[in-house]
Amino acid sequence: MAWDTTDTLGKGDVVSNESLANLLREERRFAPPADLAAHANVTAEAYEQAKADRLGFWAEQARRLTWATEPTETLDWSNPPFAKWFADGKLNVAYNCVDRHVEAGLGDRVAIHFEGEPGDSRAITYAELKDEVSKAANALTSLGVQKGDRVAVYMPMIPETAVAMLACARIGAAHSVVFGGFSADALATRIEDADAKVVITSDGGYRRGKPAALKPAVDDAIARVDRVEHVLVVRRTGQDVAWTEGRDVWWHELVEQQSAEHTPEAFDAEHPLFILYTSGTTGKPKGILHTSGGYLTQAAYTHHAVFDLKPETDVYWCTADVGWVTGHSYIVYGPLANGATQVMYEGTPDTPHQGRFWEIVQKYGVTILYTAPTAIRTFMKWGDDIPAKFDLSSLRILGSVGEPINPEAWIWYRKHIGADRTPIVDTWWQTETGAMMISPLPGVTETKPGSAQTPLPGISATVVDDEAREVPNGGGGYLVLTEPWPSMLRTIWGDDQRFIDTYWSRFEGKYFAGDGAKKDEDGDIWLLGRVDDVMLVSGHNISTTEVESALVSHPSVAEAAVVGAADETTGQAIVAFVILRGTAAETADLVGELRNHVGSTLGPIAKPKRILPVAELPKTRSGKIMRRLLRDVAENRQLGDVTTLTDSSVMELIQSKLPAAASED
């Protein structure tokens, strides 16, 4: 769910701080609840502490982990941009996530409340999780997996997915988790690039009320790659599966017969923990490499700080899939390192009904909820009455991740899910950053709808113009990270030069991964999406995010996607695709009203030339809107690749409708 990055952005990609209009002005403010602020894990002092001694601050956070060999050196930045954090320290990540809690007498604490889509459920304690991870580690060893090998994981959202990842970490094998919605082609590319020795998969998982097969895609992928030695298969749905004797092994037969005794080995802090692929705009996907000590330090600290986690009493739920970085950092590693009790849900939010998420919150007494703006806007579209049927009073903190959140979606989330009392932490980070980088702190920050606001303690982020000068308050430009951070990607797997070219070549000595941002008059940071989502209209740079937010602030609009289309007169014209709320009727009057609403909210320059009401928007399996395809439609081009869409028929409907859409000259 963290944002994909473009490959290299050249000098031609200019976003001027003079012309990147700071169109949206947000005046609403929400102070932290007094009781939360009084007992917050992290206070305003953390900013001062980190500012005074950044490396000392991160060394202190590393001490929250259990090390076999304590590190004496915090950061080695002698060969930038290749960082080494806590390099002379040794630890075992799985031990930190499981064993140490059992040894501390917390073995009976529930680690995972699993809720299957069909309604089956399991509660797994830390003691049980330790046994399962140990058995899986022994099983992988019996299949010939050794320290330094790679293991691909292609699984549904079930506890065995987390067990598999932790088992890899326990024996020092890097895992490469591939989201279960990806095709055999995508899986084959990732297996080949990582040179995976073993694939862990399932017969399938449940999605929208029926079994969705996974094993066939693995079989197809391996047929193209021909280097995988074994496939370890979890039985989840009971579907028939093709079987290759000698290669394929049932999890329940191999893992369950293993000993629950396994002594974890301590590995160097810079030992590879996982590779996670993120798409590039050109060429093959980029294998983002994360290592052990620095990554776990920051994943655990940010989970503790941003969610104000009280592991004795909180029930935490991150709704992401483990196949994305959000699931790695804030389902598996961060929460378990902190001894949290969490919910893991297998299915979709509308199965068997549109209140399923709220039913789960009510059932488990969820106190912290972390989800995506795409989901929040979907809930808005379904109607306020659905969450109102459930008791959501247990919630005390709400989080948002994956893309900028529109102010109106933020307000809806706070009002209808948080009863107008819960802080919202809007978190900016990426696959590449490994952990949260910019976010409010719930006991400290006076929050603003739509703004990620402030770099976390120990993080150096700012907004610069095209000449790498920091922009003043009120200015816009590029978001950059100016100092290394513990959970940063170490390289692109097998391609150091691409790592340098993609992230470090645009601004010397600064990390830039393609996001536009602005500072408001208070100096708070607002993310504006990818720099290629900034439109140049009659000489004015206008952010698609701001136009989308203006549209969604109209009571008839549930969701909006905006693109810039080539225009002979203005250079680019603004074209908007909107999903109307349930009761709104699609009329010419409404389209005119929406256009004027944007004009009055942002100014006449931001009024869309065309607005097209649609039933659905084209989205990837991770929930991101494919604006590239909408741009193809708006410019009457042949559609690009639609293989990553959840439903490619959406594009046919939009294409057929566009010619009739009224245009304002």
Confidence of residue 1 (pLDDT cuts 50, 70, 90): very low
How confident is the model at residue 546, as a pLDDT?
82
Asked whether the predicted pLDDT for residue 3 surpasses 50, the reply is no
Asked whether the predicted pLDDT for residue 8 surpasses 50, the reply is no
- pLDDT tens for residues 246-274? 999 999 999 999 999 999 999 999 999 99
Q: Does 614 or 6 have the greater pLDDT score? A: 614
Asked whether the predicted pLDDT for residue 448 surpasses 90, the reply is yes
Compute how many other C-beta atoms are within 10 angstroms of the C-beta atom of residue 604.
9
Q: Which of 199, 230, 265 is the last residue of a domain?
A: 265
Residue 536: C-alpha distances to residues 19, 292, 333, 608, 657 (Å): 9, 42, 41, 13, 25
- pLDDT tens for residues 349-386? 999 999 999 999 999 999 999 999 889 999 999 999 99
- Is 430 annotated in a binding site? The answer is yes
In this structure, are residues 454 and 438 in contact, taking their beta carbons and an 8 Å threshold? yes
DSSP for 27-94, please give it: ---BPPPHHHHHT-SS-THHHHHHHH-HHHHHHHHHTTS--SB--S--EEEEETTEEEESTT-EE-HH
Q: Tell whether 316 is covered by a domain.
A: no
Q: Tell whether 261 is covered by a domain.
A: yes
DSSP for 389-456, please give it: TS--TT--EEEE-SSPPPHHHHHHIIIIITTTTS-EEE-B-BTTT-S--B---TTT--B-TT--BSBP
How confident is the model at residue 183, as a pLDDT?
84
pTM, to two decimals:
0.85
Segments of 187-263 assigned E as strands: 198-202, 204-207, 210-213, 230-234, 248-250
Asked whether the predicted pLDDT for residue 658 surpasses 80, the reply is no
- Is 562 annotated in a binding site? The answer is no
- Is 253 annotated in a binding site? The answer is no
> 159-171 vs 126-142: helix axis angle to the nearest 10?
60
- Is 324 annotated in a binding site? The answer is no
- Is 427 annotated in a binding site? The answer is yes
Q: Which of 238, 265, 292 is the last residue of a domain?
A: 265
How confident is the model at residue 445, as a pLDDT?
97
Number of structural domains, the chain? 2
How confident is the model at residue 641, as a pLDDT?
64
- Is 109 annotated in a binding site? The answer is no
b/e per residue, 524-538, with b = 16+ CB within 10 A? bbbbbbbbbbbbbbe
Confidence of residue 86 (pLDDT cuts 50, 70, 90): very high
For residue 252, the domain's CATH number is 3.40.50.980
- Is 557 annotated in a binding site? The answer is yes
Chain centre distance of CA 369: 14
Instruction: Pick the closest to residue 517 from 447, 573, 461, 563 (CA basis).
Output: 461
Asked whether the predicted pLDDT for residue 82 surpasses 50, the reply is yes
Across 2-11, 13-22, 189-198, 413-422, least confident range = 2-11
- Is 90 annotated in a binding site? The answer is no
With a CB cutoff of 8 Å and minimum separation 6, the contacts of 304 are 41, 42, 64, 334, 338
For residue 636, the domain's CATH number is 3.30.300.30
Helix/strand/coil (H/E/C) assignment for every residue in 173-184: CEEEECCCCCCH
Across the chain, mean pLDDT equals 91
How confident is the model at residue 21, as a pLDDT?
44
Q: Tell whether 552 is covered by a domain.
A: yes
- Virtual torsion, Cα 98, 100, 104, 110, nearest 10 deg: -10
- pLDDT tens for residues 19-68? 344 456 788 999 999 999 999 999 999 999 999 999 999 999 999 999 99
Q: Tell whether 411 is covered by a domain.
A: no
Q: Hey, what amino acid is at 653?
A: L
Across 91-105, 306-320, 522-536, least confident range = 522-536
How confident is the model at residue 6, as a pLDDT?
33
Average the pLDDT over 142-149 and give the result: 98
Instruction: Pick the closest to residue 321 from 301, 347, 339 (CA basis).
Output: 347
- Is 43 annotated in a binding site? The answer is no
At 335, which helix (H) or strand (E)? helix 334-337
Residue 318: C-alpha distances to residues 100, 282, 434, 608 (Å): 23, 31, 16, 35
Instruction: Pick the closest to residue 527 from 401, 381, 643 (CA basis).
Output: 401
Across 229-233, 382-386, 583-587, 614-618, least confident range = 583-587
- pLDDT tens for residues 486-545? 999 999 999 999 999 999 999 999 999 888 999 999 999 999 877 777 777 766 667 788
Across 27-41, 332-346, 455-469, 616-630, least confident range = 616-630
DSSP for 151-192, please give it: EEEE--SSHHHHHHHHHHHHHTPEEEE--TTS-HHHHHHHHH
Asked whether the predicted pLDDT for residue 453 surpasses 70, the reply is yes
- Is 537 annotated in a binding site? The answer is no
How confident is the model at residue 664, as a pLDDT?
67
At 132, which helix (H) or strand (E)? helix 126-142
Confidence of residue 622 (pLDDT cuts 50, 70, 90): confident
Q: Tell whether 140 is covered by a domain.
A: yes
- Is 402 annotated in a binding site? The answer is yes
Q: Tell whether 259 is covered by a domain.
A: yes
- Is 656 annotated in a binding site? The answer is no
Q: Tell whether 524 is covered by a domain.
A: no
- Is 637 annotated in a binding site? The answer is no
- pLDDT tens for residues 396-432? 999 999 888 889 999 999 999 999 999 999 999 999 9
- Is 467 annotated in a binding site? The answer is no
Confidence of residue 9 (pLDDT cuts 50, 70, 90): very low
3-state class of 307 per DSSP? coil
Domain with 546, as residue range(s), is 538-660
Q: Does 92 or 181 have the greater pLDDT score? A: 92
Q: Which of 216, 249, 265 is the last residue of a domain?
A: 265
Instruction: Pick the closest to residue 563 from 542, 584, 581 (CA basis).
Output: 542
- Is 209 annotated in a binding site? The answer is yes
Q: Tell whether 587 is covered by a domain.
A: yes
Percentage of the chain beyond pLDDT 70 is 92
Residue 103 tokens, joined: 């040894």
Q: Give the C-alpha separation, 333 to 231, whole Å.
A: 24
How confident is the model at residue 17, as a pLDDT?
39
Q: Give the C-alpha separation, 368 to 409, whole Å.
A: 18
